[in-house]
Amino acid sequence: MTTEDHVPSRACYQRGCRDAGCELANYRYMSRLRLERARGKRRTVDAAQTIAHTERLLARGWSHRQIANAANIGDRTVGEMLAHRERVLATTARAILAIEISDPPQAPRYVPILGSQRRLQALVAFGWPFADIARHIGFDALSIARIAQGANPNVLHTTAMTINRTYRHLSCTPGPSVRARNYAKKHGWHGPLAWDDIDDPKANPEVELRGEKRGRPAQVDELRIARLVREGLTNGQIAQLVGCHVRTVTRARGRITPETLKEAA
């Protein structure tokens, strides 16, 4: 492509172009997005294409849960979208449309324990004792503790899915137990907000960098940070939206309290 053929756009900027026109297109896009976020708006698109794609998957034998798992969205999102049939979140649309039209996946009998282990540890760090988690899952507390401690390398796929659903529910509300929080702290466990991708074996928990003394850290609205984390944004995305350094977001996430999270819900 010649310079004359170049059409400035945000998409071009995302591919690595740093032409002044592309930088301006990206700046304008991010400015609009920040304004919408500040006003509590979330971008939606017409649901027709996503519904048609979903119905083709259903015709091939996929269940609502399999589609939700493949798209990494909530279990009820697919059913709610099909029922309302009007608008859908742009992020949900992209995730569902990315699923290839094929036969449904065959669930393995066992999966690596890491995701389940981290989720249980995060719930304990969030104030949920093993006994309370066990009641929600339908297991005994000893079994839950063994999974949290990584007693085995693998866990039943059905167990992992049950823990995943329970985590989505309980991680929205701080637990009642100070003892559980202290237990998690003693064992070096981290709460839900510490993870960008809790299933990624290469991911490390985001914790406050207490050792840094260089300069004065930027002040950010921790309530806003908590809301953006709950929406699934990474530290880098939040930093771009808020207009600060990624380390500032990391520090803010480390300072977020259960009370702040309640307020952000």
Question: What pLDDT digit, counting tens, does each position of 180-216 carry?
Answer: 999 999 999 998 878 867 888 887 886 644 433 433 3
- Which residue has better confidence, 133 or 80? 133
231 and 176 assigned to the same domain = no
Please say if the pLDDT value at position 104 is more than 70.
Answer: yes
Overall domain count for the chain: 3
pLDDT, position 40: 60
Give Cα 128 to chain centroid, integer Å: 20
- On the question of pLDDT at 17 being above 70, the answer is yes
pLDDT given for residue 206 in this prediction: 67
Residues 147 and 124 in one domain: yes
Examine the domain organization and report whether 169 and 232 are in the same domain: no
Domain membership of residue 127 (yes or no) is yes
Which of these three, 144, 166, 194, is where a domain ends? 194
Q: Are residues 136 and 188 in the same domain?
A: yes
Is position 201 within any domain?
no
How would residue 2 be classed by pLDDT, with cut points 50, 70 and 90?
very low
Among 18-27, 38-47, 175-184, which stretch is predicted with the lowest mean pLDDT? 38-47
Average pLDDT estimate for 68-77 = 82
Report percent pLDDT > 70 for the chain: 84
The verdict on residue 42 lying in a domain is no
Are 158 and 190 in the same domain? yes
- Whether 120 maps to a domain, the answer reads yes
Q: Which domain holds residue 127?
A: 110-194
Angle, helices 77-84/64-71, rounded to nearest 10 degrees: 110
Structural domain includes residue 147: yes
Percentage of the residues of the chain whose pLDDT score is greater than 90: 33
Write down the pLDDT at residue 210. Answer: 40
Are 169 and 233 contained in the same domain? no
- 85 with 133, same domain: the answer is no
Classify residue 10: in a domain, yes or no: no
Do 87 and 57 share a structural domain?
yes
How does the average pLDDT of the chain come out, rounded? 81
Which of 71, 97, 123 lies at the terminal end of a domain, its last residue? 97
Together in a domain, 81 and 114? no
Task: Tell me which of 37, 68, 97 is where a domain ends.
Answer: 97
Query: Do residues 187 and 128 both lie within one domain?
Result: yes
